[in-house]
Structure 1
Amino acid sequence: MSIHTFFQWYFRTPVFLRLLLTVSFFMILFGMIIHWIEPEVFPTIFDGIWWAIITGSTVGYGDFVPVTIIGRIFGILLIIAGGGLVTFYMATVSASTVKYENDLSEGKVEYRGTGHVIFIGWNERTKQLIDMIREFAPDEKVVLVDSTLENIPYKEYSIHYVQGNGSEDETLKRANINQARAAIITSDPSMKERQADQASILATVAIRGMNADIFIITEILTKEQITNAKRAGANSIIRSNDFMSTLFFHELYRKGHIKPFDTLVSQLSTQQYKQIEVPDELVGETFQSCSFKFMEQEELLLGIEKAGEIKINPPAKLTLDKSDHLLVLSALRQ
């Protein structure tokens, strides 16, 4: 490697690494020199390097001390040059650490992990979903993409934040979209419903264009935009308005009294919905007999998907085929 190439490499490395290399070079150099000047006091090069590090860092154990005038002059030079370098290095490392933590909170750091879930949009639904993931799936890696947050306390939420628009390629690249396993796009509550749906569809198009295999869940508010969301590449569409309207209706016309906060929603928040293939041992069985077997596992068989049609609470004598899928509700477990 030529001197020119070395200096090009040196000045392209991070500042803290350059300082570490410079400090190491000075300590080794002074250690070798003091060993050469006073071999009786510093019998090995390592003893010289040890003295240089202790002296340069101003610790000063005193186990090795130069006795000649030239040795002491080198000691003075080491304290002036090396001590300043060590102090500057420690200050730079501390400043870099603080800056890195600030950049994490402000969403300026690229995510380099794989197999993660990307959330587009920061709102109350996202917060609750993150809390549920942290409780029931603590090993899940979550990356949040949002353009409205100035910063987020990453230690509190244990997620990686990327500041930017979820429909822009550069932002999605910083979220490492190519290595993500799933993306959840929530509607922006600050927009009108139609505008929020258009923004969600645009984000869906951008994500699908950059990762053809990722599983995308998109929240849509208006029925008219559901078809467009499917065309954009959404694998699953959450119609939150329809869901909430149904809950309001059932709460309004349900019979009986339930103690406060013991509602259907609070109960469902502790349950996990699964769609599974029919096990081989259940092929040819009736829906009723299968329901009993799932009850033995403390799971509830809600319905069945047959020939692309979902049937909730189908006839008890309905026979299960291998191509069917079962809709099961089970308790979330940590």
Structure 2
Amino acid sequence: MNIETFKHIYFRLPTIVRLLLTILFVMVLFGVTIHIIEPDEFPSIFDGIWWAFVTGATVGYGDYVPLTPVGRIIGILLILSGGGLLTFYIATLSAATVDHERDLSKGKVSFKGNNHIIIVGWNERTRQLVQMINSKDNTIEMVLIDRSLDHLPYKHFPVHFIHGDPSEDATLVQANVEKAASVMITSDITKTERQADIATILAIIAIRGNNPVVPINAEILSLTQADNAIRAGADTIISSNDFMSTLFYHELFHNEDTKPFDSILHLLNNQQFVNLPVPEQLVNKSFKEASIFFLNKRELLTGVIRDNEWIMNPVNDFQIKEKDTLITLTAWK
């Protein structure tokens, strides 16, 4: 268990549980120590732990008593810990825990993990994205960067919140972008389309400057800014406006018994698109033959990319070329 995993578990526990675990650790430590020092007087580790609890709480039943000078010194330290130091430590720990949890919720704590997903912008889309990622694999670490959000309860959402501007290096350092596995940038819904796209492009430039190789997926609202986002360093551009316009078009003019939105939603929830080079055995084969090849692997061949042209559902005798890229549908793994 690394420190980030421990932190996720520890700081989501109720305060009283955290305090009890800390007390238990201290008492076990003293109990094991006195058992090692005086094994005759404290025959078992449990006897030592019992003595530690009784002495630390200043109850003092007297059923177990250290006899050696070293044992009595341990007893004195335990009494001080139980009566003074332990109380002070618990109070300090309680305050530090509350402060740290508050700082986590306010986005002031730097992320120390790696291979995490950075999500820029908090909105309904990213909230659902976080839930989908967490339901698929709850071990994936996610870091959220947002400057409009003042508070995000750490225990309610499985993300490490960083409050700040994603176009500033200090914020990206806090998010440990150098060791991130990927970055997802969503458009700022509080800005106009042009302002939101400019903010996205600035964030892309800053992220690419801090990590030249991390995959960056960015949402762009205006097609006129898509090329600029690519020049800035984005690997994938998601044009949400185009997607929604096309979806509305299908909803308006689809066949009566068809439900385009529901079909696409269920498709993307259960299947993923994969772009792959042409297998050697399919070179110069027909689209129909290639389709049968993938059907035998429980995959669906949907189209071909040739010279940057997307050819979806071509005719059966369409010939597959060596330099083509095939588009398939396969189940999420």
Residue 223 of structure 1: how far off its partner (Å) = 1.3
Hey, what does 2:145 align to over in structure 1?
145
More moved, 255-264 vs 137-146:
255-264
For residues 250-276 of structure 1, what are the alpha-carbon distances to aligned partners after superposition, in whole Å with 9 as ceiling and x for unaligned? Answer: 110111224797443344333212212
Hey, what does 2:133 align to over in structure 1?
133
**Does the Cα contact within 8 Å between 1:299 and 1:330 map onto a contact in 2?**
yes
Hey, what does 1:279 align to over in structure 2?
279
Percent identity, aligned pairs only, is 48
Residue 248 of structure 1: how far off its partner (Å) = 0.5
For residues 78 and 332 of structure 1, do their structure 2 counterparts lie closer, same or farther at Cα, with a shift above 3 Å needed? Answer: closer
Q: Match for 1:141: what amino acid?
A: E
* CA distance in 1 between partners of 2:240 and 2:41 (Å): 76
**Does the Cα contact within 8 Å between 2:250 and 2:260 map onto a contact in 1?**
no
Task: Using structure 1 for the length normalisation, give the TM-score.
Answer: 0.76
Residue 138 of structure 1: how far off its partner (Å) = 3.6
For residues 227 and 107 of structure 1, do their structure 2 counterparts lie closer, same or farther at Cα, with a shift above 3 Å needed? Answer: same
Residue 303 of structure 1: how far off its partner (Å) = 1.2
**Does the Cα contact within 8 Å between 2:81 and 2:87 map onto a contact in 1?**
no
* CA distance in 1 between partners of 2:52 and 2:265 (Å): 67
Hey, what does 1:87 align to over in structure 2?
87
* CA distance in 2 between partners of 1:324 and 1:261 (Å): 30
Hey, what does 1:314 align to over in structure 2?
314
Hey, what does 1:184 align to over in structure 2?
184
Hey, what does 1:17 align to over in structure 2?
none
* CA distance in 1 between partners of 2:286 and 2:204 (Å): 39
Hey, what does 1:118 align to over in structure 2?
118
For residues 225-272 of structure 1, what are the alpha-carbon distances to aligned partners after superposition, in whole Å with 9 as ceiling and x for unaligned? Answer: 111111111111111111100110111011122479744334433321
Hey, what does 1:218 align to over in structure 2?
218
Q: Match for 2:319: what amino acid?
A: T
For residues 57-104 of structure 1, what are the alpha-carbon distances to aligned partners after superposition, in whole Å with 9 as ceiling and x for unaligned? Answer: 43535234589xxxx9x9899746762111111222233223222222
For residues 84 and 283 of structure 1, do their structure 2 counterparts lie closer, same or farther at Cα, with a shift above 3 Å needed? Answer: same
* CA distance in 2 between partners of 1:285 and 1:137 (Å): 38
For residues 322 and 85 of structure 1, do their structure 2 counterparts lie closer, same or farther at Cα, with a shift above 3 Å needed? Answer: same
More moved, 222-231 vs 301-310:
301-310
Task: Using structure 2 for the length normalisation, give the TM-score.
Answer: 0.76
Structure 1: runs of 5+ lacking an equivalent? 1-19
Hey, what does 2:13 align to over in structure 1?
none
* CA distance in 2 between partners of 1:171 and 1:48 (Å): 49
Q: Where do residues 136-285 of structure 1 align in structure 2 (5 Å cutoff)?
A: 136-258=136-258, 262-285=262-285
Structure 2: runs of 5+ lacking an equivalent? 1-22
* CA distance in 2 between partners of 1:213 and 1:61 (Å): 65
Q: Match for 2:134: what amino acid?
A: R
For residues 60 and 328 of structure 1, do their structure 2 counterparts lie closer, same or farther at Cα, with a shift above 3 Å needed? Answer: farther
* CA distance in 2 between partners of 1:106 and 1:132 (Å): 24
Residue 281 of structure 1: how far off its partner (Å) = 3.2
Q: Match for 2:161: what amino acid?
A: Y
Q: Where do residues 102-113 of structure 1 align in structure 2 (5 Å cutoff)?
A: 102-113=102-113
Asked if residue 293 in structure 1 is aligned to residue 293 in structure 2, the reply is yes
For residues 92 and 270 of structure 1, do their structure 2 counterparts lie closer, same or farther at Cα, with a shift above 3 Å needed? Answer: same
* CA distance in 2 between partners of 1:158 and 1:59 (Å): 42
* CA distance in 1 between partners of 2:53 and 2:126 (Å): 51
Q: Secondary structure at the match of 1:102?
A: helix
For residues 181-207 of structure 1, what are the alpha-carbon distances to aligned partners after superposition, in whole Å with 9 as ceiling and x for unaligned? Answer: 211110011110000000000000000
* CA distance in 1 between partners of 2:81 and 2:159 (Å): 42
* CA distance in 2 between partners of 1:228 and 1:164 (Å): 24
Q: Match for 2:182: what amino acid?
A: A
